[in-house]
Structure 1
Amino acid sequence: MTAVSVLAAPASLNAVIDNLRNVIVGLLVALATLFLTVGGVRYILAGGDPGEVEAAKKTLRYAALGYGIAVLAPLLVSVLKGIVGS
């Protein structure tokens, strides 16, 4: 007899939605952190150039927007659950 590892199937639609939410939030946070890092490096390396400073600030705004969306993701999922009815 051989041992076979089987991935457990989600128990319900709620479990699938929660797992999907967790993956999406993780990706959003990772992407926002990348934008935050790039924006910070651009700001440091701008050297006083107003165009580069503005581009760096815009990148930092996008990072903040990404973090905001990641924070609101559970709320959006609960609204979707209410619409779907699960």
Structure 2
Amino acid sequence: MRLNPHHCHRRLRRVALLTAWLLTAAVLLTSPAARAETVRIIALAQTVDEVLNNIRNWIMGILAGVAVVFLTIGGLRYLMASGDPGEVEKAKGAFKAAGIGFGLAALAPLVVEILKGIVGGV
């Protein structure tokens, strides 16, 4: 079985791009600016409203973070697909999951407002 040199060159270029991206992410995540000081707080929220707002913020952050991961996976799959229809479909599925994640993150404030109405938080 002979490999097409042009195909191998494209694959090597993609692997080099992925490696460079991962190295950049590793450098940024391990830099001193990425580290936070540890602070001990016993009780921050003092009302139900504050608790629900904190829950909203956590939900939005987690959903947006997971959506970004799916968006990245979809983009990498699309780049590495090399025209393979099955891989392109998997990439589209990851893009769809990212869109759903971003949509749910955008709806988190509405869910918290409904919870405030149920529990009586103002």
TM-score (norm 2): 0.63
Greater shift after overlay, 50-59 or 5-14? 5-14
Correspondence 1:72 to 2:104: no
- Counterpart of 2:65 (choices 20, 23, 30) is 30
Of structures 1 and 2, the one scoring higher in RCO (CA 8 A, sep 6+) is: 1
Identity in percent? 50
Q: Which has the larger radius of gyration?
A: 2
Unaligned runs of 5+ in 2: 1-38
Cα separation, partners in 2 of 1:47 and 1:13, compared to 1, 3 Å: same
CA-atom RMSD in angstroms: 1.4
Deviation at 1:85, TM superposition (A): 1.8
The residue type equivalent to 2:81 in the other structure is A
Unaligned runs of 5+ in 1: none
3-state DSSP class of the match of 1:41? helix
Other-structure match for 1:48: 83
Cα separation, partners in 2 of 1:21 and 1:51, compared to 1, 3 Å: same
Q: Which runs of 4+ in 1 moved over 3 A?
A: none
| Corresponding pairs, count | 82
